[in-house]
Amino acid sequence: MNATQAKNAMRPKNAMKGTLAAGAALLPLLAGCTVAGNAADGGGSGQIVVGYQSKTINTVTAGTLLRSLGYFEKRLKALGKQDGTKYSVVWRDYDTGAPITAQMLAGKIDIGSMGDYPLLINGSRAQAQGGDAKTSWVSVTGYNMRGSLNGVVVAPDSKARTLRDLRGKTVSTSVGSAGHGTFVQAARKYGLDPAKDVKVENQQPTVGASALQAGSAAAFAQFVAWPGLLVDKGQARLLYDGGQLDVPTFHGVVVRDQFAKKNGKVLDAFLRAQIDATDYLHAHPLAAAESVASTTGLPAETVYLYNGAGGVATFDPTIKQGLKDAFVHDVPFLKSIGVIQTPLEVGPFINDTYIRKAYGASYDHDAASTANPAAITGTDEVCKTQVDDPKTAGEVWVQGEERTRPVADPVCLLKNVRALQSQGKRLRAAYIPDATTGTRWFADKDVWVEDPSAKAGERFKPFATDEGARKYIAAHSGAEVVTYGEAVKSA
């Protein structure tokens, strides 16, 4: 029995697994004007309002994918048979976490999913408002322990090579978001005062992406999936990888305390459905990516970069100590930049009792682990070796194939690509971790360095940013940048 099987065996017997096909039809949603959180104890009708961000694909297990699979509705239907309540769900889609918080404080959204900084703002404002407005962080959707879910991109032809080159320039971001926080903290490490040395434009991601294309913004600092999306489309180049900051970033689920107390069984159904969706994503990564892509309009290749096996995001609903610690660290930072006025009392805001109950007996064991449950495994058919090191493992996605092909390391990826090209195969995407930060990125968008002094199996190294490649070259005599095509041909 492997680790995943053991974990599943220890869960409650009534926990449904991800057996529905991606894109399964949803149960009808009640779109009337009933207020949020009015679920009755029995014999009545209850509507639950869920706020989510469809394009923030690190939240899909509590949003886009969960909605498309219908797992929450199915669990509510079963619950309704027990207590006589006719439950329904209204899904409200937003670009960022800020409007979800506003609607929760107004009592119009019961359950929401958002990033770590928006969660802090949510908790802070809810505590300040007091009374029935208080909220709690109850589970995690996905995370990255180094911060690679956030990034700063520039136009492909930009002369900027580091954040230092943005001095005097305009940077588009969503103030208070994880992308904004990453930029501010990183800029300070480069000797920049974000309040004085750059002009920060507070814009929604869609507006900021347009501003970058139009040239009215020199850089675009955002959260998943925007950096990868623009790079994938050839509209941007990654200037700064959030993984360089080495600060955990995550997204999670927040609930109104009043709703949770009155509707504990409904919240339990939601969290169990989230677990179902997480299991589905792990078991069917390509199908999950295609489903999210069809719903959001995002390219499946971009979705898979983050959500696939060995992806930038690790999907695990448990609340880990490292994420709690990062949360505490972020409170004074957000206050220092004026995003929150009242510091959050973190202790009362974090409540893992609900997810602990839904998850089952293996909760403490899995909460203590940061290993990706969806690691890349298998055999590299070209290099004839087992793929078992997450620090170097990558994938090649061949057009028309239902599974990706695992590759053991960067050089083996290049060999796989060359072999497939010689066979006339068309590639949808190829993914490989950055040689320094470990951030998974598009192989054809990486900056490749050839190091003649390295071992044959380590001769070519990929970097998600130009800065990373230049630092390596500066420390290794004879190393030089080569094009992706040259690397494929020479490997």
- The pLDDT value given to residue 45: 58
Q: Comparing 5-9, 176-180, 261-265, 349-353, which segment has the lowest mean pLDDT?
A: 5-9
Residue 26 has pLDDT above 90, yes or no: no
Q: What is the pLDDT of residue 486?
A: 98
Q: Which of 37-46, 305-314, 334-343 has the highest mean pLDDT?
A: 305-314
**According to the model, what pLDDT value does residue 28 have?**
30
CA distance 57 to 224: 7
- Report which secondary-structure segment, H or E, holds 424: none
Q: Write down the pLDDT at residue 4.
A: 42
CA distance linking residue 107 with residue 35, whole number of Å: 8
In percent, the amount of the chain with pLDDT more than 70 equals: 91
**What local confidence, expressed as pLDDT, does residue 177 receive?**
87
pTM: 0.89
Tell me which amino acid residue 435 is.
Answer: A
Per DSSP, what are the bridge partners of residue 406? 395
- What pLDDT, on a 0 to 100 scale, did the predictor assign at position 338? 83
Q: Which residues is 480 bridged to in the sheet?
A: 450
**Measured distance CA(92)–CA(221) in Å, rounded:** 25
Higher pLDDT, 105 or 15: 105
* % of the chain at pLDDT higher than 90: 85
Q: How confident is the model at residue 336 (pLDDT cuts 50, 70, 90)?
A: confident
Largest CA distance in the chain: 76
**pLDDT higher than threshold 90 for residue 18:** no
> How high is the mean pLDDT of the chain?
91
Phi and psi at residue 282, to the nearest 5°: -70, -40
Classify residue 97 by its DSSP letter.
S
**Bond preceding residue 225 cis, omega within 30 of 0:** yes
**DSSP string computed for 24-49:** PPPPPPP-S-PPTT---SSSSEEEEE
Mean pLDDT confidence for 37-61? 77
Note the pLDDT tens digit of each residue in 415-432: 999 999 999 999 999 999
314-342: b (≥16 Cβ within 10 Å) or e:
bbbbbbbeebbebbeebbebbbebebbee
Dihedrals phi, psi of 470, to nearest 5 degrees: -65, -40
66-90 as b/e: b if 16+ CB within 10 A: bbbbbbbbbbbeebbeebebebbbb
| More confident: 414 or 3 | 414
- Encode 153-196 in three state secondary structure: EECCCCCCCCHHHHCCCEEEECCCCHHHHHHHHHHHHCCCCCCC
pLDDT tens figures, 196-215: 999 999 999 999 999 999 99
Q: Which runs of E-coded beta strand occur in 231-283?
A: 237-241, 249-256
Average pLDDT over residues 443-454: 97
Q: Which of 43-57, 83-97, 461-475 has the lowest mean pLDDT?
A: 43-57
